[in-house]
Structure 1
Amino acid sequence: MLLHKQLHFLFACFMTVLSISAQNKKPTIALKEIITSIENQHHVTFNYSVNINETHLIAPEEFLSLEQQLIYLEKQTDFYFENIDNKFINISLKTKKKSTTLCGYIYSSIDNKPIENANIKTSDNKHITSNSEGYFEIKKAVKSEITISHIGFTTKKINQNEIKDNDCIKIVLESELTTLQEIITNSVLATGITKNSDGSFIIKPKKFSILPGLIEADVLQTMQQIPGVNSHDESVANINIRGGTHDQNLFLWNGIRMYQTGHFFGLISAFNPNLPHNISIYKNGSSAFYGESVSSVVAISSTAENFKKNEISAGINMINADFYFKKAISKTAYIEIAGRKSITDYLETPTYTKYFDKAFQNTSITDFSQNQKVNYSSDKKFDFYDLTFKLFKKLGRKNTLILDLISINDNLNVFQKAAVNNSFQSQNDELEQENFGGNLVFERNWNKNNQTIINASFSSYEIIANKKTSIGSQIVFQKNNVLDNALKIENHHFLSSKFSVNDGYQFNEIGVTNLDTVNSPQFYRKSKSVLRTHAAILESKFKDSISRISFNTGVRFNYIENFNKFIVEPRLQFNYGVSKHFNLEVLAEYKSQNTQQIIDLQKDYLGIEKRRWVLSNNSTIPIQQSKQIALNFSFKKNNWLINLENFYKKVDGITSSSQGFQNQLEFLKITGNYKVIGTEMLLQKKINPFLVWLSYTYNKNNYNFDSFIPATFSNNFLISHMVSGAAIFEKNNFKIALGTKWATGRPETTPINKTADQNNPVIEYNSPNNKRLPSFFQVNFSTTYKWESAKNIQYKLGLSVMNVLNRKNEISEYYRISNLTNGIEEVKTFSLQRTPNVSFRINF
């Protein structure tokens, strides 16, 4: 037995010696060839920055495992071989102090694939990028932090001190939730106004610099600088975009539909310009999530960009005083309160006087039967306020809750009187207008690629008009009320850094009540209607910065419950960078609208036009539907910007009572359409510290009412040609702007004769809109200066002058039967006279 064991031992020793001897007889080969063989055998990748070309050794046996082969190589060479997940092998010198370098692999959280060309930056401002395998190696900085970033991913910061020596770390970058919108043009018209690749204009009041006549970013005044946007009577409550009426625009404030948009006869907007909000303006190609509009969309968001920063500011100008307050109430929540109040209760400033004169006194009335002017004198009392509240709360890492409230109120009391040939007439008008709304938003980030947003909102609008006249002691009372309740659900799915899909559902219930009462002759009328609509939305968004292509396609499926009717609304936004400097854009949309404003008995209010909201009944008040397409070319190079946009737009289902006719169509109830074809051009040059621009707009806009003769004639809001321009100077904290605007006059309808039968006074008209008013010309100026105290308190002083040359521009002309003489009166209204305004603001 002992002999048997000894023989086995001797045999084993003999075989070992033979093996060693045989191995020593194998030739040595280059290390580079060995690792290539291992890569092929085990499907791994070696990464190294050291010189291995001069290292030769006997290759390890192929039957050994990967780990055994690496141990063998490490023993036979001067290198460390670090195995990363059996995929990557990092080679480094043993003699090198490993604590002086940092290496890692960067992966995407979406598909766990390596990220190439990720940016790695140390605290010492050293930069490198990752290779095709996501690998990088960098010297450790004196300071301990490195930053890893890449487009489409959230930036990540790593503390070097938390990484063990000799470790090659694995870094996973989370995809960044983004709307895939790329700013393609900076500083359009002014600093703080940009244009997106989806065709929308973005206004950021906190970054807004200055525009002629404006010293703060009044939302609806600022947007009138954009080509294609205009107000024919200088009112922000009567904005016309590509021939559309004001009610055909959708105004949203934090998701709440606003039915009142102006203060002070529409001369300033109802939205506080001092909130840190963003305004998105779509003339065409709007998202399928926007409904109830056949013209433009104006979406205002007041969610603060800086979550933790507390802010307090207050300001005053010659119309109103305002305040703004934002306070973080915890690490995850803040509240925001802002308000404005007119100062006209306490002080009648020159600005207030000019505004009032524009509304009431800038009117020339001629009685043709008496061949004399009729002078109306007015006493007035007016005030307004707006107030907003926001609560923002983070609920854990994935949820956000936002509550928004807004209240807008205007009160007007005007007593007017006039006398002709000892005949006396007086009238007392009282108007109260208010809009109150709220929106509760819940956002849930399910994971890095999926997000849900739920909005529950309401908007309550009411206007009450009370008129008392001396003739017959007549009292007319009118009331219009709108209650809009909405539920919106949005789902966003980010499939990759280039492509996303959005879907959602919207429900709207709109109720409208109209009440009319007259004491003499006795009359009572009350109507109430409710409309419920459902909408399913589907969108896809693609953006590729390499091919310079981005497009958004969407479709909105509307179902109107009351009419059992379906309406499909496709949307398109396509943008292609033909070259580095030349860009092509195509926008198209199909939209519908179930609400509109009608103008009823406007002459009863002595020039104070009163519009009332009504709902479609699918017959005498049709559903309005629009089609629009636009082709846009833009060129940008060496601070030059040239933009040319051609468009076609058609809106069906309009009613004559919604168009503001003051001729033979005023009391008709007919339906039709209008078609607009036009061109908008912008030429801009930035020469520091100057920004100079010139814009031109042309359009041809005609009505078509089949039941009226003639069926086709010019639109009431037609302005065939408009040219505007500005020169803006900005240096340090001083800004100054001078600009001008010229436009062809609006259409008017003239009477065939200027006298009427005293017993049966009726005006006989020529064809509708047979004549043009004189052209409009205005020069505006503004300047601001900002400075800061030693205690970091900021001050801002502003001065503006509207209509510097005090030109008397006629903006409307119509004819009516005089209550005093039964003769024909010609009524002309004129634009704002030279109007100065001074503002002062302080930010703590």
Structure 2
Amino acid sequence: MLLPKQFHFLFFLFFLVLNSFAQDKGKLVPFKKIIIDIEKQHQVSFNYTEDNIAGQELIPPKKSLSLEQKLEYLAEKTHLSFENIGNKFINIYKRENESQIICGYVFSSTDKKPIENANINLSNKNQVTTNSNGYFEFKEEDAEIFFISHVGFVTKKIVTVNPNSKNCLQILLEPEITELKEIKTNAILASGISKNKDGSFEIKPKKFGILPGLIEPDALQTMQQIPGVNSIDESVSSINVRGGTHDQNLFLWNGIRMFQTGHFFGLISAFNPNLAHTISIYKNGSSAFYGESVSSVVAISSTPETAEKNSFSAGINMINADVYGKYNLSKKSYIEVAARKSITDFVETPTYKEYFNKVFQNTTITDFSDKQNVDYRSDKKFNFYDVTLKYAQKIGIKDQIILDLITIKDNLEVFQSATFYDINRSENNILRQQNYGGNLAWKRNWNDFNTTKVNVYNSAYELLGNQSNSEGQIVIQENTVNNNGINLENNHIINSKFTFNDGYQFNEIGVTNLENVTNPDFYRKVKEVLRTHALILEAKYNDTISRIYFKVGTRINYIEKFKKSIVEPRIQFGYGINKNLNLELLGELKSQNSQQIIDLQKDYFGIEKRRWIISNNSTIPIQKSRQLSLNLTYIKNDWLFDIENFYKKVNGITTSSQGFQNQLEFVKTTGDYEVWGTEMLVQKRMNHFLTWLSYTYNHNNYHFPDYEYPIFPNNFEVMHTASWAGIYEKNNFKIALGTKWTSGRPKTSPNNALIDPSNPTLVYNKPNNTNLHIFSQINFSTTYKWESENGIQYKLGISILNILNRKNEISEYYRISSLTNSIEEVETFSLQRTPNLSFRVSL
């Protein structure tokens, strides 16, 4: 006896068989319904005219048949022909008129998407349009020559060479080169450097040409060629953008905030120049998604925009050696590793010696040797390295996960001893600086119009100094930063002109400062933590027809500890006045909770004397900036003229953050600085030759209302800066020669009339009352690349900094000499003539 469950199963099976049989012997169904069902089942689109299928009915094919079998069945039962294009589009023709039909598809050449409502203008004055799949058709006798047009694309003329072909034409339309795009150039200062619509500069290291003194696309050295960006002491750890201090710049590496930016205490970038794919530099008008900065933003990404093949390279120069490797684990995943290490452990090159002399002049290390002249001995060890790792994995067609890790470390050990009047003195100095970072990012494309990005990051920085001497005193100083957070960003494409972004960011930063001294004993440890929440809204309008680019956004910060909200609006506006002339307006309000200060100039042996601290909303205020700039760019006949006027004011600065070495060195007060100026660039390209001349004018003043001299020039004011370069690039040979000239930075002179020679005490004039001598330097570089028969590429580079070996003074201060009990002038100079040689092999 059958159980109920068995009965139900047999009944269902019987009904299924009966239903299948009924389909085979079923009723006639309208042809249009049949092809709609096929479209849904097989994810295809049919292209046809209503006249071809009107009134037709037939028994539908079995659903179990393949697509090709169904098309064969339909062709057999009707007078129609079916053309299957890539199992995506199917064209339907009347069989007797096949040779009389011309059909085609119209796609965009940029994204290969179909163009709907494109106009097909026939020679007989008739017109047809494309459907949602970009498909069109017309009779052969209507036209042998026709034109295709659509707003935003270049009109294309088509001649039907073989009108009897059964295959449809596949036509690509090129986007119309709008006037707004024409005024942008892809070679500002050098190949691989361009300027975007949002006012930012973009560097593509893998397309980078050459600049004077550079043989590698070092991000932080390259950005100093941009007008308005300078370094008053030749250090990438002291980059000043429009009068700001280095710590007021935000440096991001794959979304990780970096607190250490230089190796060799600032003479070379801490970011491997052979790794980055895109470097974006914002002097003003940065996106609302960038916070914690009152000056510029430097965002470095090592993620390629398109898939790349496996590669390996290795190189060496007179400072370091490096290796790079990328391996595709599958079609959807790859791993990338890069490592770089100094060669100073093995050899002291002329380049290393010049760098060492530059870094350690007028520090406690050289002071020790300068004061001793008998039996002086020294043993020094210096090295650095950086390692990066990237793992990328696509999940399906909508998701991608990327993991980035970075390690940067510098280590210095110096042992010194001397015998003076039968007394032996010795010192052992250890200085370590390191930055670790990690970022895990997830990106999902929900559809063609909506994307979400989420990333979780951490950055840990440590600066450690340990000094011991023969008297038994040990001094330990430590500055650590731990920064972590999460970012959420949603991108929405409303239409071809308008996009909208929104997001949320959480950031936590903790800073610890430690001082531990023995003989006499002293211990101090201070730790501060600050948590910030930010809501971001941003909208962009980009109309290539009216040549208008407009981006507006706001960032609303909430600081938990202070229960304080800060609103930071941003604006970017561009208008193409005509095809050669473009106007650009940028503006922003920004804030910053962390900064670097100098407690004593001899901290950390006077080499890396800055330590990170965070705001307490009183004696250490939150820094706030406002900036506005107006830019005019003219491009014609390979000429480029660019002029930008700007105004910038930063409130909440402290005297400790400005590096004073005059009467303000031990004064604790707060104030602001105000800077305005002009940046100009003239550039001309002639075949393989590119030359440019830039000039920057800055007027930069401090305002400390509680000080006896409330207004005086900024320490980082370089009133006049001019640069010139001539660059020649042909095939694999590149050569560059350039010069840089700047007026001297401010300094404070002592008032000699008030100094008592018997008891000298420093008495200064008004702060920054005079200036150093002008800075002038000529630099040279050249590279040559060649390839062997087996496809291995070789690259040789030579550079010389300061060819004329000019002795440029970059700082000057005064102190009381312990040896002579008199006032002495202490001068610091830039690099002397410094050669460098590099060699690289790429597979």
**Deviations 1:84-126 (Å, cap 9, x if unpaired)?**
xxxxxx999987644984334779999999243799xxxxxxx
**Deviations 1:7-42 (Å, cap 9, x if unpaired)?**
xxxxxxxxxxxxxxxxxxxxxxxxxxxxxxxxxxxx
- Cα 1:308/1:604, change in 2 over 3 Å: closer
- 1:492 aligned residue: 491
- 1:87 aligned residue: none
2:672 is aligned with 1:673: yes
User: Is the partner of 2:516 in helix, strand or coil?
Assistant: strand
2:329 is aligned with 1:329: yes
- Cα 1:181/1:105, change in 2 over 3 Å: closer
- Between the aligned partners of 2:341 and 2:831, the Cα distance in structure 1 is 22
- 1:816 aligned residue: 815
**Deviations 1:47-101 (Å, cap 9, x if unpaired)?**
99xxxxxxxxxxxxxxx999469xxxxxxxxx9999xxxxxxx999987644984
- Between the aligned partners of 2:634 and 2:607, the Cα distance in structure 1 is 45
- 1:703 aligned residue: 702
**Deviations 1:261-315 (Å, cap 9, x if unpaired)?**
0001200000000014200000000000000000000000001234240010000
**5+ long unaligned stretches in structure 1:** 1-45, 49-63, 70-78, 83-89, 120-128, 141-147, 154-163
Q: CA deviation at 1:600?
A: 2.0
Q: CA deviation at 1:842?
A: 0.4
Kindly report which structure 2 residues correspond to 1:305-454, keeping only aligned pairs within 5 A, or say none.
305-361=305-361, 379-415=379-415, 427-454=427-454
- Between the aligned partners of 1:406 and 1:400, the Cα distance in structure 2 is 20
- Between the aligned partners of 1:290 and 1:508, the Cα distance in structure 2 is 12
- Between the aligned partners of 2:53 and 2:282, the Cα distance in structure 1 is 61
- 2:38 aligned residue: none
- 1:642 aligned residue: 641
Q: CA deviation at 1:416?
A: 5.5
Indicate if the aligned counterparts of 2:515 and 2:524 stay in contact, CA closer than 8 A.
yes
- Cα 1:611/1:786, change in 2 over 3 Å: same
- 1:213 aligned residue: 213
2:186 is aligned with 1:186: yes
- Cα 1:283/1:47, change in 2 over 3 Å: same
- Between the aligned partners of 1:648 and 1:654, the Cα distance in structure 2 is 17
Q: CA deviation at 1:609?
A: 3.6
- Between the aligned partners of 2:803 and 2:413, the Cα distance in structure 1 is 30
User: Is the partner of 1:665 in helix, strand or coil?
Assistant: coil
Q: Which amino acid aligns with 2:643?
A: L
- 1:765 aligned residue: 764
Kindly report which structure 2 residues correspond to 1:510-589, keeping only aligned pairs within 5 A, or say none.
510-589=509-588
- 1:289 aligned residue: 289
- Cα 1:100/1:737, change in 2 over 3 Å: farther
- Cα 1:598/1:754, change in 2 over 3 Å: farther
Q: CA deviation at 1:542?
A: 1.2
Q: Which amino acid aligns with 2:487?
A: K
TM-score, length of structure 1 as denominator length: 0.80
- Between the aligned partners of 2:725 and 2:113, the Cα distance in structure 1 is 51
**Deviations 1:605-629 (Å, cap 9, x if unpaired)?**
5541411100100000000000000
- Between the aligned partners of 2:343 and 2:112, the Cα distance in structure 1 is 56
- Between the aligned partners of 1:451 and 1:118, the Cα distance in structure 2 is 34
User: Is the partner of 1:841 in helix, strand or coil?
Assistant: strand
User: Is the partner of 1:184 in helix, strand or coil?
Assistant: coil
- 1:244 aligned residue: 244
Q: CA deviation at 1:253?
A: 0.1
2:685 is aligned with 1:683: no
Q: Which amino acid aligns with 1:589?
A: E
- Between the aligned partners of 1:237 and 1:702, the Cα distance in structure 2 is 22
**Deviations 1:199-224 (Å, cap 9, x if unpaired)?**
00000110001000000101100000
- Between the aligned partners of 2:487 and 2:100, the Cα distance in structure 1 is 55
- Between the aligned partners of 1:197 and 1:95, the Cα distance in structure 2 is 55
2:624 is aligned with 1:625: yes
Indicate if the aligned counterparts of 2:747 and 2:767 stay in contact, CA closer than 8 A.
yes
User: Is the partner of 1:447 in helix, strand or coil?
Assistant: coil
- Cα 1:136/1:110, change in 2 over 3 Å: closer
Kindly report which structure 2 residues correspond to 1:746-761, keeping only aligned pairs within 5 A, or say none.
746-753=745-752
- Between the aligned partners of 1:536 and 1:821, the Cα distance in structure 2 is 60
- Cα 1:185/1:793, change in 2 over 3 Å: same
- 1:602 aligned residue: 601
Q: CA deviation at 1:227?
A: 0.3
User: Is the partner of 1:602 in helix, strand or coil?
Assistant: coil
Q: Which amino acid aligns with 1:116?
A: A
- Between the aligned partners of 1:842 and 1:67, the Cα distance in structure 2 is 67
Indicate if the aligned counterparts of 2:440 and 2:457 stay in contact, CA closer than 8 A.
yes
- 2:13 aligned residue: none
2:456 is aligned with 1:456: yes
- Between the aligned partners of 1:110 and 1:671, the Cα distance in structure 2 is 58
Q: Which amino acid aligns with 2:118?
A: E
- 2:20 aligned residue: none
- The count of aligned residue pairs is 735
- Between the aligned partners of 2:128 and 2:357, the Cα distance in structure 1 is 68
Q: Which amino acid aligns with 2:186?
A: N
Q: CA deviation at 1:478?
A: 0.4
- 1:825 aligned residue: 824
- Report sequence identity in percent: 63
**Deviations 1:395-449 (Å, cap 9, x if unpaired)?**
0010000000000000012345789999997644321000000000000111110
- Cα 1:632/1:449, change in 2 over 3 Å: same
Q: Which amino acid aligns with 2:576?
A: G
Indicate if the aligned counterparts of 1:262 and 1:268 stay in contact, CA closer than 8 A.
yes
- Cα 1:403/1:181, change in 2 over 3 Å: farther
Indicate if the aligned counterparts of 2:500 and 2:540 stay in contact, CA closer than 8 A.
yes
- Between the aligned partners of 2:682 and 2:592, the Cα distance in structure 1 is 34
Indicate if the aligned counterparts of 2:598 and 2:657 stay in contact, CA closer than 8 A.
yes
Q: Which amino acid aligns with 1:717?
A: F
- Between the aligned partners of 2:737 and 2:409, the Cα distance in structure 1 is 33
- Cα 1:460/1:152, change in 2 over 3 Å: farther
- Between the aligned partners of 1:115 and 1:666, the Cα distance in structure 2 is 71
- 1:114 aligned residue: 116
Q: CA deviation at 1:130?
A: 8.7
Indicate if the aligned counterparts of 2:694 and 2:723 stay in contact, CA closer than 8 A.
yes
- Cα 1:455/1:139, change in 2 over 3 Å: farther
- Cα 1:655/1:422, change in 2 over 3 Å: farther
**Deviations 1:564-623 (Å, cap 9, x if unpaired)?**
000000000111110000000000000000000011222255541411100100000000
**Deviations 1:306-342 (Å, cap 9, x if unpaired)?**
4240010000000000000000001110000001000
2:259 is aligned with 1:259: yes
- Between the aligned partners of 1:94 and 1:447, the Cα distance in structure 2 is 39
- Between the aligned partners of 1:348 and 1:366, the Cα distance in structure 2 is 18
- 1:58 aligned residue: none
- 1:159 aligned residue: none
- Cα 1:374/1:445, change in 2 over 3 Å: farther
Q: Which amino acid aligns with 2:116?
A: P
2:792 is aligned with 1:793: yes
- Between the aligned partners of 1:694 and 1:568, the Cα distance in structure 2 is 39
- Cα 1:636/1:553, change in 2 over 3 Å: same
- 1:776 aligned residue: 775
Q: CA deviation at 1:467?
A: 2.3
- 1:280 aligned residue: 280
- Cα 1:421/1:638, change in 2 over 3 Å: farther
- 1:590 aligned residue: 589
- Cα 1:67/1:679, change in 2 over 3 Å: same
User: Is the partner of 2:602 in helix, strand or coil?
Assistant: helix
- 2:60 aligned residue: none
- Cα 1:738/1:109, change in 2 over 3 Å: closer
TM-score, length of structure 2 as denominator length: 0.80
Indicate if the aligned counterparts of 1:699 and 1:719 stay in contact, CA closer than 8 A.
yes
Indicate if the aligned counterparts of 1:106 and 1:115 stay in contact, CA closer than 8 A.
no
User: Is the partner of 2:661 in helix, strand or coil?
Assistant: coil
**Deviations 1:786-812 (Å, cap 9, x if unpaired)?**
000001110000000000000000000
